Amino acid sequence: MEKLIVIDGNSIANRAFYAMPPLTNSSGLHTNAVFGFTTMLLKLIEEEKPTHLLVAFDAGKVTFRHAEYEQYKGGRAKTPSELSEQFPLLRELLTACGISHFELNGYEADDIIGTLTRIADEQKKQVMVVSGDKDMLQLASDQVTIALTRKGVTEIEAYDPAQIQEKYGLSPEQIIDLKGLMGDTSDNIPGVPGVGEKTALKLLHQYGTVENVLASVGELKGKMKENMETHADSARMSKELATIFREVPLEQSWDDLKFEGISTGQALPFFRKMEFKSLIDRVAAMDPSGGAGSEVDMEPAAPLNLVVVEAGNVSELDAKLSEVEVFHVEVVGENPHQSDVIGVVFRTFDTSYYVPFELLKSEEAAALRSWIADGEVPKRGYDLHKIDLALHWKGVAFEGAAFDVSLSAYLLDPTDSNMSLDGLAAKYGLSSVKSDDEVYGKGAKFKVPALSMLSEHVGRKAMAIQEIMKKQQAELEDVEMHQLYYELELPLSKVLADMEKQGIAVNVGDLRDLGKEFEAIINTLVTNIYQLAGTEFNINSPKQLGEILFDKLGLPVMKKTKTGYSTDAEVLEKLEPYHDIVKQILHYRSIAKLQSTYVEGLLKEVRQETGKVHTYYRQTIAATGRLSSQFPNLQNIPIRLEEGRKIRKVFVPSEPGWSILAADYSQIELRVLAHISQDEKLIEAFVHNMDIHTKTAMDVFGVPAEAVDANMRRQAKAVNFGIVYGISDYGLSQNLNITRKDAAKFIEQYFAVFQGVRKYMDDIVKEARKNGYVTTLLERRRYLPEINASNFNLRSFAERTAMNTPIQGTAADIIKLAMVKMEERLQTEQLKSRMLLQVHDELVFEVPEDELEIMKELVPEVMAAALKLDVPLQADVSYGANWYEAK
DNA sequence: CCCTTCACG
DNA sequence: ACGTACGTGAAGGGA
């Protein structure tokens, strides 16, 4: 028995869009409507087993109904761009699944469906119509059932004429009359005012049709009679508009709609592009041709040539070393300073040689180790920076990073950079790499599998790296990030690894003493707080604290979070006048933070043997191109408040008599802004080396320098910050605690003076809209898929990001350049000084006594010369016995 | 594992 | 009408 399913494409796409949470694939493509549509489609195919399938779409904007009634579908909200951009994808999906789909000029999907069901009625063929639109019920017949979506998209309810009768007491044809009377706000069909579903049903049960109701209008009473009389024409027209046209000139024959099942060979590439992982298996199982694991899933079923090297056989690999293309080291653990190394793979053109780490460490593998240590031998792999560190702590030297697919993935798209290798492989259509979680298990279940499985996994990784690499090299050229990659990021990864291995010395004794001081303060504060609260509770729990402050003590609620009362510092500061406890809590919070994060946290990270901490700079995390720092984070050591700043005293040189020297860029982001915006006023301010916040205050307030007081300067400073962040009046008003109006006034005054900055802000947003991304001076790129979103919040966020990223990102480019150049100079000048830390605009060194004079000139000189801008770059240097003194 | 808070640039 | 400043990481609480 043949069975046709016709899907109302626009209706189901809309349902799917609103039923699914927002969903994007890693390249930022919105996919939720496609996903919802697909799940519905698969379910229908599985459950209904259609022999014929069609998805009908609406065509264009104007249909014959507009000729009858101009306002047809008027006043309807514009389709959000997140949805409209998914229609081409839907068509791609259908084509890939071998499902016929079309639209017809001047008609809506309804009319195509109406025509098909009429033909089915005549030829006695079975049809199921799937839609979210009740109007379709008018098409029901013995041959035709109408399936309407209920909740979401996958739940549908099928109606035949009997069920329609049961639910509405109407025949399918009368559905048209129903709409004639009640109208339809979503299509802007007027109907009769005052008549809703209840009244309309009552009238139709009595009179049968619109025409009969109108003919019998004399029997009606009151307001309803009046409405019916004055809007008789409207009722007739509404009925006509609601009538589905069933005589569309279709070119397609019944046989054209034949559905032969989904062929995975065609469909899976599309599913991969969409990143519909959960659906891939489902589709694979549905392939009628496939069955016995037709491996279309993998790119040419990629067999792995794997050699597990064993003791006694290493010389075989030695002979192949000159042919090695990819070097991979299997590292387990997040922190590469204390990770386990399981094994390594040397991959030639066609073979992965797996060497267990134990074997690599043995006498027999000396040649392998010298190969790894030889900087002249180029290494290509995944996350070589981490590998370098992990090997280092296991006593194996690594040199010669030449291509790193994780670093390259980061440059190609920094927002999905923490890409695991299996994710990256999937992205490039090589689904042969399992995830580490799958192979090892996660959390407490972690377990290294048997050698056969392990070597297969690791061997496949190396193979995937080889494939990915080829594609990335071409991509890097395409997007002109070749230079950024080879001349900056890759050399930098080595610089970072050296800094990290070096570490910075911590005076553990002093840190413990500081901890004792903090402990004493905390004890006093806790006692006070319990007494003022009249009870003991966990001050660290925002929930419990909120209950004390707002329920027990009755303080006014200033702000709520999604889980309850907000108790952050901003709220507490406003509450200070109401109760003495608040000040104590604020103080407690600040000291408790220092104690847990900076005293206890830091102590946990100090290496017993050396008394040093070794941070791990992550080069592939920040969307702007900045570094991040972990285990411990040394980029957020306190400085703003004196109590916390003392923490810096425990960071000391690792050798007696040496000093800590720190140099930081002065206003690097505003200087970058001056350069890229070419704003005359801003450039002038920096060329004359003026105090930029004071200068901003002078210009914004229109006063001479001597009239700028501390408060004016503070406000100007906030405006400058706001500018860099992609200013909004709301954000500035929050920061300065002023009204939004006043904030807007400041911004307007700023832009009136710094017109080049205004132009930059306008232009960069336009550029982002046009290209879909923004770039830094060194061509680092960040995609902003939400720049054209219809959602105000998402779009605004993307706009601010468009303004901020070129500034923050260029500043990051500059200090990275400075780091690479600085390391070169230390080498060429044969200095013993060492670069230890980077804190976004600051570099920290340890310097022997006899190099102090040189370094305090050299460091700022190299930093200032890192990149030539149209304004001078300036770095200020200072030094002392510890990081605190170097201020 | 997510939320809240807070440290830095 | 909408309701946020840009970029990070760590700790503690609580489901």
* Domain assignment present for A861: no
Instruction: Name the residue among A804, A754, A757 with its Cα closest to residue A776.
Output: A804
Question: What DSSP letter does each residue of A332-346 carry, written as one string?
Answer: ESS-GGG-EEEEEEE
Residues A452 and A584 in one domain: no
Residues A542 and A497 in one domain: no
Q: Residue range A220-237: average pLDDT?
A: 81
Does residue A261 or residue A614 have the better pLDDT?
A614
Instruction: Please give the model's pTM, rounded to 2 decimal places.
Output: 0.77
Domain boundary, last residue among A229, A257, A285 = A257
C1’ C15 / CA A447, Å: 28
The pLDDT value given to residue A294? 37
Residues A521 and A487 in one domain: no
User: Which two three-digit tokens encode residue A840?
Assistant: 């976004």
Residues A94 and A64 in one domain: yes
Give the residue with minimal CA–C1' separation from C4: A731
C1’ C12 / CA A810, Å: 36
Q: Please list the alpha-helical segments (H only) found in A564-626.
A: 569-575, 580-593, 601-605
The answer on pLDDT for A26 being more than 70 is no
The pLDDT value given to residue A668? 97
Domain boundary, last residue among A767, A782, A809 = A809
| Cα distances (angstroms) measured from residue A660 to each of A607, A779, A849, A854 | 20, 34, 10, 14
Residues A474 and A527 in one domain: no
With a pLDDT cut of 90, the percent of chain A lying above it is 64
**Residues 795-854, chain A, CB closer than 7 Å to nucleic strand C:** 796-797, 800-801, 804-805, 808, 840
Residue A130: strand pairing partners: A7, A147
The pLDDT value given to residue A61? 67
Does residue A98 or residue A710 have the better pLDDT?
A710
Does residue A225 or residue A512 have the better pLDDT?
A512
C1’ C12 / CA A503, Å: 28
The answer on pLDDT for A188 being more than 50 is yes
Give the residue with minimal CA–C1' separation from C10: A597
Kindly report, residue by residue over A138-169, the tens digit of the pLDDT.
889 989 999 888 877 777 888 888 888 888 88
Give the residue with minimal CA–C1' separation from B7: A636
The pLDDT value given to residue A293? 39
The pLDDT value given to residue A261? 85
Give the residue with minimal CA–C1' separation from B4: A542
CA angle A667/A670/A675 to nearest 5° reads: 120
* Domain assignment present for A284: no
**CA count, 13 A, side-chain hemisphere, A71:** 10
Sign of the dihedral defined by the CA atoms of residues A96, A98, A103, A108, in that order: negative
**Residues 614-653, chain A, CB closer than 7 Å to nucleic strand B:** 635-641, 644-645
* Domain assignment present for A287: no
Q: What is the CATH number of the domain that holds A491?
A: 3.30.420.10
| Cα distances (angstroms) measured from residue A808 to each of A298, A624, A674, A841 | 41, 6, 13, 10
Cβ of A562 < 7 Å from strand B? Answer: yes
C1’ C1 / CA A767, Å: 27
C1’ C4 / CA A729, Å: 10
Cβ of A274 < 7 Å from strand C? Answer: no
Residues A463 and A578 in one domain: no
* Domain assignment present for A862: no
| Domain encompassing residue A357 | 306-503
* Domain assignment present for A652: no
Left, alpha or beta for A78 (phi > 0: left; psi -120 to 50: alpha)?
Answer: beta
CB A50 within 8 Å of CB A4: yes
Mean pLDDT of chain A: 91
Residues A458 and A520 in one domain: no
Cβ of A544 < 7 Å from strand C? Answer: yes
The pLDDT value given to residue A878? 98
C1’ C8 / CA A797, Å: 17
CA distance A617 to A811: 17
**Residues 699-718, chain A, CB closer than 7 Å to nucleic strand C:** 718
Cβ of A597 < 7 Å from strand B? Answer: yes
The pLDDT value given to residue A170? 87
The pLDDT value given to residue A183? 83
* Domain assignment present for A634: no
The pLDDT value given to residue A102? 86
Kindly report, residue by residue over A757-813, the tens digit of the pLDDT.
999 999 999 999 999 999 999 999 999 999 998 889 999 999 999 999 999 999 999
* Domain assignment present for A283: no
Instruction: Name the residue among A814, A562, A791 with its Cα closest to residue A667.
Output: A814
Domain boundary, last residue among A576, A606, A636 = A606
* Domain assignment present for A409: yes
Q: Which of A2-16, A518-532, A693-707 has the lowest mean pLDDT?
A: A2-16
- Nucleotides in chain C with any atom closer than 7 Å to protein CB: 1-14
Q: Residue range A837-854: average pLDDT?
A: 98
The pLDDT value given to residue A281? 66
The pLDDT value given to residue A707? 96
Is residue A1 packed enough to be buried (19+ CB in 10 Å), middle (13-18) or exposed (0-12)? exposed
C1’ C13 / CA A440, Å: 30
Q: What is the CATH number of the domain that holds A751?
A: 1.10.150.20
Q: What is the CATH number of the domain that holds A152?
A: 3.40.50.1010
Residues A76 and A157 in one domain: yes
Residues A336 and A411 in one domain: yes
Q: Residue range A9-25: average pLDDT?
A: 81
Residues A401 and A458 in one domain: yes
Residues A480 and A547 in one domain: no
Domains in chain A: how many in total? Answer: 4
* Helices vs strands, H then E, count in chain A: 39, 23
Residues A91 and A48 in one domain: yes
CB A458 within 8 Å of CB A343: yes
C1’ C6 / CA A492, Å: 24
- Give the H/E segment covering residue A837: strand A834-838
The pLDDT value given to residue A295? 36
The pLDDT value given to residue A27? 62
The answer on pLDDT for A45 being more than 80 is yes
Q: Which of A222-226, A266-270, A390-394, A594-598 has the lowest mean pLDDT?
A: A266-270
CA distance A50 to A503: 66
Q: Residue range A750-762: average pLDDT?
A: 96
